[in-house]
Structure 1
Amino acid sequence: MTNQDTTISEARARLQAERTAALDDLASLRDRLETKGDYGLGEGDPMIYQWELNLALLERAEQHLAEIDEALQQLDMGIYGLCEKCGNPIEPERLAVLPHTTLCSRCAQRRR
């Protein structure tokens, strides 16, 4: 196994672990939304705010899962670790922290 094969294997393992955690988060959030109780209590009720927060968290968790799945597809296609904006390699340190990222540091800074 080459060094590149090891790096790809490690990236896949990190992404799979992140995917498992994201699926667990989604299941938990969906459960909280399904067991919401009576949210027809009226505007301003704290339970309404909690339900809206959980809904926002669910949407973010779904987006995160999609990002992970996209990174896994990039691994399969052999383009993982390349910036989608400039085409340059994404810094290994950045991939270690954000294995699902699609932008190098420079392009991510420009995006903000």
Structure 2
Amino acid sequence: MQSDIDPRGLIGRKAFDGDGHRIGTVDEVYLDDATGAPVWAAVRTGLFGRDAFVPLGPSRVAADGLHVPYPKALVKDAPGFGVGRHLSPQQELRLYRHYGLAPPSAPGAPSPPGGPVGSVPDGTG
């Protein structure tokens, strides 16, 4: 993902799957606690849908929105944790596994993501 983007600039943008089909709209962006880099986005999947977390590392930002390299069905089946709260290391691990990604575990690797951009940490993470 482009590392020089403003995470707040993603909120409200459309999100698309790997085939270019619209998934939903980015509700929140979750930052790494240690680096402040954007790690996950919560995407509202439909009018009455829920928020599904998508990894930002393999995703890209384009003029029309956020493009994630996964099928819409995989995104919609992602574990749901609700939004507005800090992601725990266990929740993050479940997300990495869901998307078939290796979690950062090497020395010096980023720490688990924190709360969403603009929220007040709740101290549960």
Q: Which structure shows the higher strand fraction?
A: 2
TM-score by length of 1: 0.23
TM-score by length of 2: 0.22
